[in-house]
Amino acid sequence: MVTGRHEAPIQIIRDNPEVVAQLLCATCDVELSDDMIIRSASEEFTQIAPTAYRADNVVELCDGGSSKPAVAVIAETQLAVDDDKRYSWPIYLAALRGKVRCPCYLIVICPKPSVAAWARKSIAIGHPGFDLVPLVVGPGTGPLVTSTMQAAQAPELAIVAALANVTPPDREALEITHAALATLDNAGHKDATMYTDMVLAGLSQVPRRILEELVTTGTAEYKFKSDFALRNQAIGEARGEARGEARGEARGEAKSVLKILAKRGLTVSDEVRERVLACEDEDQLDVWLLRAGTVESADALFG
């Protein structure tokens, strides 16, 4: 099933096919001329047989002044191990090569380490010397963008690298991603907000908070100038208020647990009191609230 996580890198490539040329140079020893014309192409591969195959994205690179491609690249996003791909990917390449009659490459974007390791394995076709090793972009690829300045010069590449989890999302990596997003936002890129949302949606809780903070406050070199940062700040404040309200409700329920224990004449140690008051899990507090009316000692509250 196609999901937002699957579509995010491919959407960026569709909007900015030059990213594929950058990925190709980063993952394979391919030299491309500076005057190449880069364009998206049809993802359909049909054969005489009725079976049709469709790649996620195809990009053609043409030498300046020529309409015929000099290089063609298939770009795929792979979120899970799928052994059927080890049969369809060679078909994609062979069919594309037969169509465009030029060197063809397969780039697979894999955000998960286990999937990236699987995708890097050689695909033995059976014919001597005819094996396919996909060019994988994901954990283990190595950094594609190493500075905020480079991110500002190639923002879409930096964003694809972030979506592919090429490097762990520590603060340094997130500052590089932020520089790319801020560059697009300040240039008035029509999809800047969408790209920022894509990256935020793919992050776990802690990295997401760091990037949200960077989007809101900026760094010494890069700041968002649009209303997106203001919107993000408002969202952050709303989340903070919601978390505050939730903590307040949880603390009230925790106090109720302690009151029931005290009313029943049970001795409540400091350790029990601190554990109950520190709990912010409402489901757990509900369990303790029910137990508080029947347990024979405060320590038995925790089962």
Tell me: the pLDDT tens digits for 7-16?
Answer: 888 889 888 9
Strand pairing report for 37-41 and 57-62: antiparallel
Cross-strand pairs, 62: 37, 69
What pLDDT does 48 receive? 39
Mean pLDDT by 10 residues, the chain (303 residues): 67 89 84 84 57 77 88 93 94 92 95 95 93 95 93 95 94 95 91 87 88 86 71 51 58 82 85 86 78 82 79
pLDDT of residue 49: 41
Per the CB < 8 A criterion, the answer to whether 176 and 148 are in contact is yes
Strand partners, 123: 132
**Parallel, antiparallel, or unpaired: how do β-strands 44-46 and 52-54 relate?**
antiparallel
CA distances from 106 to 72, 168, 206, 297 (A): 9, 24, 33, 65
pLDDT tens per residue across span 259-299 = 888 877 888 888 888 888 888 877 788 778 778 877 788 88
Instruction: Provide the token pair at 84.
Output: 């059927």
Please name the amino acid found at residue 45.
F
Dihedral in degrees, nearest 10, Cα atoms 46, 49, 52, 57: -30
Q: Which residues pair with 71 in a beta bridge?
A: 61
**Closest of 224, 115, 113, 159 to residue 13, by C-alpha:** 159
Between CA 285 and CA 302 the distance in angstroms is: 10
Q: How does pLDDT run across 162-188, given as a tens digit for each residue?
A: 999 999 999 999 999 999 999 998 898
Closest C-alpha to 37, from 12, 14, 71, 10: 71
Question: Looking at residue 119, what is its pLDDT?
Answer: 97
- What pLDDT does 286 receive? 75
The domain limits of the chain are 1-141, 146-225, 247-302
Radius of gyration over every alpha carbon of the chain, rounded to an integer in angstroms: 26
What pLDDT is attached to residue 28? 78
How many beta carbons lie within 10 A of that of residue 143, not counting itself?
Answer: 13
Instruction: Count the Cβ atoms, other than its own, within 10 Å of residue 75.
Output: 28
Residues 6+ apart with CB under 8 A from 196: 181, 185, 215, 228
pTM: 0.70
